[in-house]
């Protein structure tokens, strides 16, 4: 199954000519899920040739504008495109009231059902579960309630060894083998052993998104062994007092969290607009956690 993340925007609150507000698309199989929706997100979707109509759900971390000011336009554009499929929307308390008032004042009537589910930032846990993956919340700490998201792939089916498949094997027998079951005849005699005709499924993958947050060692148990972690790195170490005051993290702190959690790869973003290049932030992080990369806008990362 496809499991990848496309970075639409990795900038911070103040816009620049070279970065866009926070937004990412998680590809799960043939479905798309949007994390955060900063200003201009729908244009970024079009630029990356991702049809907005294919979105199945949207996850909003918190109510600072650079993380959700693009939501109103996107939801309206989906309606103008005559969308009829339900759309999941997960977000913090207050988002429903904001959307309701905007739609009331603009006399907007959506062509689809917007299934809003409020997130409790103080009580992390499972918020979405499908046959392919699950999404749980992460307890971030910012100036206002803020939630991270953890996408976990479900364990897949076993892999058939094609050269061993026999012509007389039925579709039902193959289905049972892929599901980890031995196949018996009517009398209970073993016909095909699962271990003989299949190999184990690939280990399930995981992706964590930690947007605006102060450095939180408490996140380590939630992030342990995650394959890929995106973590904000708004400031560098010389700006640590400012990072603490504004409830943000430094590049080194993001790397420290990645190292302590034993993650596979770290993507850093949300760099302050005061920095004209990402190199020094990347170097600061790599000195602690070598498998660190800058979340490059327009780039798709396979998990």
Catalytic residues: 66
Residue 66 known to bind ligand: yes
Residue 212 known to bind ligand: yes
Instruction: Give me the DSSP letters along 70-113.
Output: THHHHHHHHHHTT--S-EEEEEETTHHHHHHHHHHHTT---SS-
Whose structure tokens read 């918020």? 127
> For residue 68, which of 114, 22, 16, 33 has the smallest C-alpha distance?
22
Given a contact cutoff of 8 angstroms between Cβ atoms, the answer to whether 42 and 52 are in contact is: yes
Residue 62 known to bind ligand: yes
If DSSP codes are grouped into helix, strand and coil, which group holds residue 139? strand
Tokens coding 11: 């900038």
Angle value at C-alpha 155, between 199 and 299, nearest 5 degrees: 105
Residue 27 known to bind ligand: no
Which phi-psi region, left, alpha or beta, contains residue 147 (left: φ > 0; alpha: ψ -120 to 50)?
beta
Distance CA 141, CA 211 (A): 10
Residue 67 known to bind ligand: yes
Whose structure tokens read 């302590």? 260
Tokens coding 101: 């008032």
Distance CA 230, CA 254 (A): 9
Axis crossing angle, helix 251-261 with helix 279-286, rounded to the nearest 10: 30
Angle value at C-alpha 7, between 6 and 13, nearest 5 degrees: 155
Q: What is the 3-state secondary structure (H, E, C) of 219-240?
A: HHHHHCCCCEEEEECCECHHHH
> For residue 88, which of 20, 33, 132 has the smallest C-alpha distance?
33
Given a contact cutoff of 8 angstroms between Cβ atoms, the answer to whether 184 and 193 are in contact is: no
Task: List, as residue ranges, the binding site for Zn(2+).
Answer: 62, 64, 66-67, 142, 212, 270
Task: List, as residue ranges, the binding site.
Answer: 62, 64, 66-67, 142, 212, 270
């Amino acid at each position: 199954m496809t499991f990848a993340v496309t970075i639409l925007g990795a900038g911070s609150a103040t816009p620049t000519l070279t970065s866009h507000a926070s937004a990412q698309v998680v590809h799960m199989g043939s479905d798309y899920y949007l994390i955060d929706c900063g200003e201009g997100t729908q244009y970024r979707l079009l630029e990356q040739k991702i049809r907005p109509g294919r979105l199945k759900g949207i996850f909003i971390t918190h109510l600072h504008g650079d993380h959700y000011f693009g939501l109103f336009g996107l939801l309206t554009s989906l309606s103008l495109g005559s969308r009829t499929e339900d759309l999941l929307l997960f977000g913090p308390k207050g988002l429903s009231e904001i959307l309701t008032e905007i739609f009331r004042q603009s006399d907007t009537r959506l062509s689809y059902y917007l299934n809003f589910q409020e997130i409790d930032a103080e009580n992390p846990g499972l918020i979405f579960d499908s046959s392919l993956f699950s999404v749980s919340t992460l307890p971030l700490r910012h100036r206002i309630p803020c939630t991270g998201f953890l996408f976990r792939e479900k364990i897949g089916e076993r892999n058939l060894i094609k050269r061993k498949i026999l012509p007389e094997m039925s579709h039902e027998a193959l289905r049972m083998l892929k599901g980890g079951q031995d196949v018996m005849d009517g009398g209970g005699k073993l016909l095909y052993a699962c271990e003989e005709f299949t190999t184990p499924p690939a280990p399930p993958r995981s992706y964590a998104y930690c947007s605006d947050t102060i450095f939180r060692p408490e996140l380590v148990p939630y992030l342990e062994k995650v394959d890929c972690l995106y973590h904000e790195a708004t400031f560098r170490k010389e700006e640590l007092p400012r990072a603490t005051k504004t409830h943000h993290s430094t590049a080194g702190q993001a790397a420290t969290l990645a190292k302590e959690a034993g993650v596979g790869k770290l993507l850093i973003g949300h760099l302050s607009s005061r920095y004209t290049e990402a190199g020094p932030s990347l170097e600061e992080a790599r000195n602690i956690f070598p498998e660190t990369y800058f979340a490059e806008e327009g780039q798709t990362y396979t998990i």
